[in-house]
Amino acid sequence: MEKPYVLGLDMGGTNSVLGAVDARGHVLARTSIKTQAYADINDYVEALYQEAVKIMDSLGGIELFRGIGAGVPNGNYYTGYIQDAMNLPWQTVPFAQLVSDRFGIPCKITNDANAAAMGEMTYGVARGMKNFIMITLGTGVGSGIVIDGKVVYGHDGFAGELGHTCAVRGELARPCNCGKVGCLEAYASATGVARTAKEIISSSTKETLLRSINIDAITSKDVYDAAEKGDEVAKEIFDFTGTILGQSLADFVAFSAPEAIVLFGGLTKSGHWIKDPVEKAMNENVLPLWRNKVKVLFSDLKEADAAVLGASALAWE
């Protein structure tokens, strides 16, 4: 029997969203459970199954589903394990096997950024591309590297942590939540933008609309709103952020020669304010043979569907 559907799971630290997806990339039905509500992984899998049955039955039953793809924190594509996931109730578990055993269909997992890359390659702006880099710009900075049409996992399943490459060196480099210093994530994430805003405002007497906001509460959205109103300090914040990101992208281009770099996540809502300095810095710092040849693209997947679609792409492999 032809199996026209798959399930895509986007496991976040707070919520787990499950969607039924067809081969054209349409999310036909979705449901969710609270990730943190289950101290035992078996209870989590059972709750997931009970919710999944509802949407699978609405489409004709589990026999029409080919498999499950899951984007999970610290998900190892090779082993199917979630490994050392500090933000989950269960840090190391054989997740793919547990899900496959309960559902009776195959399950594959990877981390969220690799899932995003799979989604773009299968359904999104990178469809048809065999060499590109996905950069997710959210609370952190994630990445998925695609070479010759395949996501790069490395020997241990964890390749592609470009957000934790060193973007700034020296005594003034920012500490990162990972324990290192100067990581790209500390500068080019939404939280990095907020840190930059705080630093620039605190060290300057320039007039800015951002001074009307509690300095510890400023978000990247606040910076965008100010930039849209012509605020020079807000523009400076985006220039600083985009320059650091663009310089790092120039280094990334050198090791994989991608056709494009696809940016995804909340920070991309800043539009040209972030994209323009990124492209400028990348092309100023990349080797001449790649200058103005590598495209910087924003994801065109709907934000509400992107994570589920990315995860579901694993199930079509």
Helix H segments across 146-231? Answer: 185-188, 190-202, 220-228
d(CA 184, CA 251): 12
- Rounded to the nearest 5°, which phi and psi values hold at 237? -65, -45
178: which residues sit within 8 A by CB, 6+ positions away?
164, 185
Let me know whether 108 and 156 are in one domain: no
Question: What is the pLDDT at residue 154?
Answer: 94
* Other CB atoms within 10 A of residue 4 CB: 15
Let me know whether 104 and 204 are in one domain: no
User: pLDDT tens across 85-103, in order?
Assistant: 877 899 899 999 999 999 9
User: pLDDT tens across 201-248, in order?
Assistant: 999 899 999 999 999 999 999 999 999 999 999 999 999 999 999 999
50: which residues sit within 8 A by CB, 6+ positions away?
none
Within a domain: 247: yes
Angle at 177 between CA 256 and CA 137, to 5 degrees: 45
Token pair, residue 100, equals 């496959």
d(CA 76, CA 7): 18
Question: What is the pLDDT at residue 307?
Answer: 87
Let me know whether 239 and 278 are in one domain: yes
**Contact in structure between 33 and 10 (CB atoms under 8 Å):** no
DSSP E strands in the chain: the ranges are 5-11, 15-22, 27-34, 65-71, 107-110, 132-137, 141-147, 150-151, 260-264, 295-298
Let me know whether 184 and 70 are in one domain: no
Token pair, residue 210, equals 């951002």
State the DSSP code for 175. B
Give the model's confidence band at 1: pLDDT under 50 very low, under 70 low, under 90 confident, else very high.
Answer: low
Amino acid at 199: E
Let me know whether 150 and 216 are in one domain: yes
Q: pTM of this prediction? A: 0.89
Let me know whether 227 and 133 are in one domain: yes
Q: What is the dihedral of CA 45, 47, 48, 51, to 10 degrees?
A: 160
Within a domain: 168: yes
Question: What is the pLDDT at residue 129?
Answer: 97
pLDDT > 70 fraction of the chain, expressed in percent and rounded = 100
Within a domain: 14: yes
**Contact in structure between 208 and 200 (CB atoms under 8 Å):** no
Within a domain: 25: yes
State the DSSP code for 174. P
Nearest to 316 by CA among 113, 21, 1: 21
Let me know whether 92 and 77 are in one domain: yes
Let me know whether 72 and 182 are in one domain: no
C-alpha radius of gyration, the chain, whole number = 20
Per-residue pLDDT, averaged over 57-75, amounts to: 95
Within a domain: 50: yes
Report the CATH number at residue 291: 3.30.420.40
Q: In DSSP terms, which residues pair with 18 in a beta bridge?
A: 9, 31
Within a domain: 161: yes
pLDDT > 90 fraction of the chain, expressed in percent and rounded = 85
User: pLDDT tens across 112-142, in order?
Assistant: 889 989 999 989 999 999 999 999 998 889 9
| Residue 261 in this model has a pLDDT that exceeds 90 | yes
From residue 308, how far is each of 22, 23, 35, 252 by CA, in Å?
12, 13, 15, 27
Tally of domains in the chain: 2
Within a domain: 124: no
| Residue 66 in this model has a pLDDT that exceeds 90 | yes
Grouping H, G, I as helix, E, B as strand and the rest as coil, residue 42 is helix
DSSP run (H or E) holding 41: helix 41-58
Let me know whether 110 and 13 are in one domain: yes
Nearest to 305 by CA among 74, 25, 72: 25
d(CA 303, CA 128): 21
Let me know whether 208 and 292 are in one domain: yes
Grouping H, G, I as helix, E, B as strand and the rest as coil, residue 284 is helix
Let me know whether 49 and 22 are in one domain: yes
Within a domain: 148: yes
Let me know whether 209 and 142 are in one domain: yes
* Other CB atoms within 10 A of residue 189 CB: 28
User: pLDDT tens across 286-304, in order?
Assistant: 999 999 999 999 998 887 7
| Residue 31 in this model has a pLDDT that exceeds 80 | yes
The domain of 141 spans: 129-299
Question: What is the pLDDT at residue 186?
Answer: 97
